[in-house]
Structure 1
Amino acid sequence: MTKALFLAHTAAPSGAELATLRLLAALRELGRTEVTAIFTEDGPMVERMRARGIETRVLQSGFDSRAMTIGSGPFRLLAGFLALLRLGWTIGATAKSTGTEVLVAESSKALVMGAVAARRAGIPLVWQVHDRIAADYFGRVPTLVLHTLGRLVAAGYIANSKTTLATLRTGRSPAIVAYPGVEFGTDTTPEHCGDQREPEETVVAVVGRLSPWKGQDVLLRAAAAAKVRPRRILLIGGTFFDEEPYRAELEQLAHDLALPVTFTGHVEDPNPHLHDADILVHCSVLPEPFGQVVVEGMHAGCAVIATGPGGPAEIVEPGVSGLLVDGGDEKQLTAALDTLIENPDLRTRLSAAGRARARHFDVDESARTVADFLDTLTRRTDAAGHQNPEKRTPSVERNPHV
């Protein structure tokens, strides 16, 4: 059994952290990988991990996970970088003392810590990449730094989509795609899932933290221009990382457009809201790394509209299991809303096909893919961290979802 330590820099319940929770729970259930999670701060994800029976440690470091956000000044970035290096040294001691065989970094900040930790422990470092490493998201200089650091320290890569993998410079290091998955084994979807309301009663939902690149403002303007306005619009998600002013902008926009918008704030489980919605709209204006809310909406029985390019284009079969529009294009989004709102029968067909499509993204399949990858990688690596060329390298094609 491979002993793996999964390293996260934040314990806030955002998409990447929730995907990691589902993956670790599935790996634990699979029984081929001994998993431990380590966080550099306390927070909701710590208790969630422990509630699922996952060994979880908190490094009481005083580290502020927002110390190195995009747009931080040079001094704040430098201070945060040095703090990550110090944390990495401590984590390396933990990994060494616990007999960890492979370290998995769950973010770019975790990669910095993991580089030091893996070196001290003498074990391979895997970078599990949840974001597109591209200039339109990180900026040119941080993107170059991350690409260089990955090439220098990562013994392997786990990408959350083909879209994400295409932004990485993996060199000769092995890389796989393991999609964030849905836990079908705990399916509590009600029998009436997929029932569609009449046009004037339609409920539209958007799931995701309230952030400008998520495009909730685009959806509001598109909905205001629809031939039949939705009866209700649910904006499901909270604010993180100093994004509170954007919520105020959305509230003002909804008021100005006279739209019936409900702001739920952060919710632990969006499924009850999704089960109540007819249409899920994914409206990111930048290419989404994956878009697990699209799968969740399909699984809940919503007719889905999603934006491309990006991960959602790997999920949605246009016209079959959902509709695709270009990110940031209000006119296309309005046209898609008109098509679905005015046609409950089409919504019903897309809902049924979407539920079937969602089954392709079972977290248990992702867990098997990751377990195979970690097993192979640790067999290829001797105690000094040197690669053994006689062992086979995993490839993207090993992922059953692709």
Structure 2
Amino acid sequence: MNRALFLAHTAAPSGAELATLRLVSALRDQGRLGVAMVYTEDGPMVERMRARGVETRVLRGRFESRAMTIDSGPLGLVAGFLRLLRLGWSLGATAKELGTNILVAESSKALVMGAVAARRARVPLVWQVHDRISADYFGRLPTLVLRLLGRLCSRGYLANSRTTLSTLPIGRTPALVAYPGVEFGTEAPRPDQRPPADTVVAVVGRLSPWKGQDVLLRALAATKVRPHQVFLIGGTFFDEEPYRAELERLAGELGLPVTFTGHVEDPAAYLRDTDILVHSSVLPEPFGQVVVEGMHAGCAVIASVPGGPAEIIDPGVDGLLVDGGDEHQLTTALDTLIGDPALRARLAMAARLRAKDFDITETAHTVAAFLDDIAQRNDAAGTPHAPERAPHG
């Protein structure tokens, strides 16, 4: 059996890390592929991964995930890059110790480490891409560097949507669109869709300007019938606390009944009590797993495009789509759903059926076959035996 080692640079419970938890857990349960996990810092995801029975390591010489950002400046980026190279060398030793056949990098920073580790361990590297690799998200120079590094070092790509895959210059490199699967338990009972004046609206996601919670608040303030309750479900993980303060001020000025929940480990209970889930990102969303979660919970969903939600929702059948950042369109969609509980119920019923297409077990099945194939190609081709030299810096 081949063995895959997944690498993440952060152990904070954000969307990509939770998607990795579900995937690695499902791969382990299916038993077609051996799996292990390495983080370069300690955090909540370490214990959560171990609780699933997955062998999990925290790499020595830990990397502070917020120490290297686009705002770090040239010297900070170079210093962070060198630290990633050194960690990658250590990771290569861990990969050999664990009998790894294939490395899977779960982020752009993990890609840098993985390139070194794969070289040392003489195994192929696959880049699982959770973000669009584009200038509007990373900036022009980092985007060029990441695309080049991917082309030079990756033996395969796993993309979380066709939207994400379209931002990668894959050439002839094997690539698979593997939607972040959702773990479906028993469908819990939920209340019927409420009358217009009693409607509950929610948005789920970390509080960040590009997630567009401010756009939602202004759109709600312009609706013909204001909802009874609005939940902003999500925390601030990456120095975005000032944005939460801005949202609190805006909600007060607009007189909206907003509850800020902070980070919630499992928003399922909130979603079961929500009539309308809004996904309001102003930049194209790589996928939008919360859209699927809301559909599975029986919410009527409004999501923004372009991006992954366009691959999930059939407009007017199992949800509504609006242009990201367009407050007028969002207000119109909210008016349509708030004023028509029967429409909400019809969309929610179809949404629950559509959500089943994103079961994590199906995603894991296709990913296991993809990783097995790349590992077997590597074995068939043989691996060059280059002398080991530790990276400088």
Same fold (TM over 0.5): yes
- Answering whether residue 290 of structure 2 is matched by residue 289 of structure 1, we say no
Q: How many Å separate the matches in 2 of 1:32 and 1:102?
A: 14
TM alignment of 1:197-212, pairs within 5 A: 197-212=194-209
In the alignment, which of 322, 326, 329 is matched to residue 325 of structure 1?
A: 322
Give CA deviations for 1:126-145 in whole Å, capped at 9, x if unaligned: 00000000001001000000
Q: How many Å separate the matches in 1 of 2:89 and 2:306?
A: 39
Q: How many Å separate the matches in 2 of 1:385 and 1:357?
A: 43
Alignment correspondent of 2:235: 238
In the alignment, which of 331, 338, 351 is matched to residue 348 of structure 2?
A: 351
Q: How many Å separate the matches in 2 of 1:70 and 1:277?
A: 36
Alignment correspondent of 1:313: 310
In structure 1, stretches of 5+ residues that fail to align are 388-402
Alignment correspondent of 2:149: 149
Q: Give the drift of 1:377.
A: 0.6
Contact 2:157-2:176 at 8 Å conserved across structures: yes
- Counterpart of 1:378 in structure 2: which amino acid? A
Contact 1:340-1:346 at 8 Å conserved across structures: yes
In structure 2, the CA distance between the partners of 1:363 and 1:78, relative to structure 1 (3 Å rule), is same
SS in 1 for 2:173: coil
- Counterpart of 1:109 in structure 2: which amino acid? K
Alignment correspondent of 1:35: 35
Q: Give the drift of 1:215.
A: 0.1
SS in 1 for 2:93: helix
- Counterpart of 1:192 in structure 2: which amino acid? R
Alignment correspondent of 1:298: 295
SS in 1 for 2:321: strand
In the alignment, which of 190, 193, 203 is matched to residue 192 of structure 1?
A: 190
SS in 1 for 2:34: strand
Alignment correspondent of 2:124: 124
Q: Give the drift of 1:62.
A: 3.5
SS in 1 for 2:63: coil
Give CA deviations for 1:302-359 in whole Å, capped at 9, x if unaligned: 0000000100000000000000000000000000000000000000000000000000
Contact 1:123-1:385 at 8 Å conserved across structures: no
In the alignment, which of 269, 276, 279 is matched to residue 279 of structure 1?
A: 276
Alignment correspondent of 2:391: none
Alignment correspondent of 2:388: none
Alignment correspondent of 1:390: none
Alignment correspondent of 1:133: 133
TM alignment of 1:246-261, pairs within 5 A: 246-261=243-258
- Counterpart of 1:300 in structure 2: which amino acid? A
Q: Give the drift of 1:73.
A: 1.1
- Answering whether residue 358 of structure 2 is matched by residue 361 of structure 1, we say yes
Alignment correspondent of 2:77: 77
SS in 2 for 1:227: coil
SS in 2 for 1:73: helix
Contact 1:157-1:174 at 8 Å conserved across structures: yes
SS in 2 for 1:112: helix
Contact 1:122-1:383 at 8 Å conserved across structures: no
In structure 2, stretches of 5+ residues that fail to align are 385-393
Contact 2:26-2:360 at 8 Å conserved across structures: yes
TM-score (structure 2 length as normaliser): 0.96
Contact 1:123-1:383 at 8 Å conserved across structures: no
Q: Give the drift of 1:385.
A: 5.7
Contact 2:11-2:42 at 8 Å conserved across structures: yes
Q: How many Å separate the matches in 2 of 1:216 and 1:277?
A: 17
Q: Give the drift of 1:96.
A: 1.3
Q: How many Å separate the matches in 1 of 2:145 and 2:33?
A: 31
Q: Give the drift of 1:188.
A: 4.1
Q: How many Å separate the matches in 2 of 1:188 and 1:112?
A: 40
Q: How many Å separate the matches in 1 of 2:373 and 2:78?
A: 36
Contact 1:36-1:54 at 8 Å conserved across structures: yes
In structure 2, the CA distance between the partners of 1:249 and 1:337, relative to structure 1 (3 Å rule), is same
Q: How many Å separate the matches in 1 of 2:172 and 2:291?
A: 32
SS in 1 for 2:322: strand
Q: Give the drift of 1:75.
A: 1.4
- Counterpart of 1:276 in structure 2: which amino acid? D
Q: Give the drift of 1:60.
A: 3.0
Contact 1:299-1:354 at 8 Å conserved across structures: yes
TM alignment of 1:16-55, pairs within 5 A: 16-55=16-55
Alignment correspondent of 2:387: none
SS in 1 for 2:292: helix
Contact 1:122-1:384 at 8 Å conserved across structures: no
Q: How many Å separate the matches in 2 of 1:188 and 1:229?
A: 32
SS in 1 for 2:65: coil
The count of corresponding residues between Structure 1 and Structure 2 is 384
- Counterpart of 1:58 in structure 2: which amino acid? V
